[in-house]
Structure 1
Amino acid sequence: MTDAPLAADALDPFASGFADVAAEFADETGGPPTLGEFLEVLGWSVPTNSDAVDGTFTEPLRLTATVKGKRYRPEGASRVAELNDHVFEDARSLNATLTERIASAGSPSTPQQYASAILRIIRTGRIAFADVDGTEVRRLVAERAKRNTRLSPGDILAIPVEPSGHRLAVVITRNRFGTAIGLFEGVSPDGRPSADVLKAPRRFPVYTEESQVKNGTWQVVGHDEGLLGRFPADPEVYHKPGAYPGVDTGEHGAAETADGPLRMIDAEEAEAVGLAAGRYRQTYPAVFLQKVLSGERD
């Protein structure tokens, strides 16, 4: 069964509750959410650890809408990263109640049952969107989790760290050195790419490989090519003085791009990157990088 067992008498309170979430969004950003932004908030607010859900929910849960017979694609940049936590907390509380209501029919809610219930709520027309009328939304599908994801520049990764939370990174490029990612300071409690974390990029990108993405440990939680401007487009790797016989790597070391010549660096840059102190590492296996990030303290 794919239709959510949501009785007609439950629609009004849920519609009112989710309309309030949209109103909170408008209060914070200066305007109502687009349908895409609203679905993004819901996707980050599903109660994945609840007994009311069947264990196949991903976070974020990606919801794809059909409006007037065409697949919905939002225009413009998402403002979801600008929101404070209370918007997500209110949405999470409503989602928990909604999935419990669905599960009361006899079995835990599936992602598609949840999506079908949200569709019925949206189609009441009670939720104000910036770009569509809720009554025009014809279909809502919960996308299945993807494996063996091929990363693209601008993909945002959530890397789990101990004891809890996630470090965030953006994919910069893929070249002969590996997959270059730019890391951000701070920890996201749930992996959500919030503005508070994304505002603090680290100076030096690192290279890694994609095994932890392919096995699902590292999740792609967003895409924002605007973040790429905070990092070099072709990240360099560094070499200490005398690293290779017959190759001049300078007094303090040298930097190399994937397709360019060596660039001699000064003492200040060698100190900043950790080359002078012997703590620089140019590439990391993904599992090891995750352990390194877990050992850091902000």
Structure 2
Amino acid sequence: MFSVSLISAAVAAIVLDALLGEPRRWHPLVGFGRLASWLEQCWNSGVSSSVMSGALALLFLVLPVVILVAMALLLLPSWASWLLNVVGLWLVIGARSLADHGRAVSAALREQNLPVAREQVARIVSRDTESLDAPGVARAATESMLENGADAIFASVFWFVLAGLPGAVLHRLVNTLDAMWGYRTERFERFGKFAARLDDLLAWLPSRLTAFSYALVGGLHGRCRLALRCWRKQAGACDSPNAGPVMAAGAGALGVQLGGGAPYHGGWKEKPLLGEGRTADADSVDAAIVLVRRSLILWLLLLIAGALL
């Protein structure tokens, strides 16, 4: 059912990420982001831009990288292909980096250092953090752990197992462009639409598998049914078809309430309430990190079992 080579590469990449984290310098995604920013400045004319121009920009940026990776895997000997799979997936996922960012926020909250907490959470969310109070910072960080866990970890592992490193790279690059261009603003409404829709498509199944994983892990604290109920009743109220299930199930699994009004640079935005339970705090940020880590362990155990069978 599963490729033993890919599963072993996935396990090795996740262990490598746990040991080393992301490269602090010369990360390929950083270079890709800079290139994407430059191309967007050249091709995006704002209001007069078209969906087609954004689609062409995405294809121009993504396809050469995916083809290059696929060709390298075909031409290299088997041991080198396996090593490329390990290093490639390590560069694509960011489990340790995500956890480190979350812990920096929770540590500042515990020290009651709100300015530092705002500064740290600004690195992982798009909202206006300068006007957030302590519960608002904790809520934003908890939501980011849950949603970015789905985007940066589980979706990439899903596509790696399904389509190899080219599939994981395709997803991660599209997700990066969605994070850069997928805004409903005057400048990006049309130019970023293709990236946003393609990212929604690629993340549809992985996000639901992630939500189900959160619910199962939440069962360790007796919250599996609560997580599933929150997913069923609350996810549809979210704007994003994929963030809704992930955050609703995750909030239910944590026994915390997320969502609600939040300040963004474009103004105040009312978001649906997700989950049930206590108000978000430093503990909920750390609990979300643990939930993501345990869900990742669950995925690895299932993949290894599938490969053995």
Please state which structure has a larger fraction of its residues in strand: 1
Q: Output the TM-score relative to the length of structure 1.
A: 0.25
Please state which structure has a larger fraction of its residues in helix: 2
Q: Output the TM-score relative to the length of structure 2.
A: 0.24
Indicate the structure (1 or 2) with the bigger Cα radius of gyration.
1
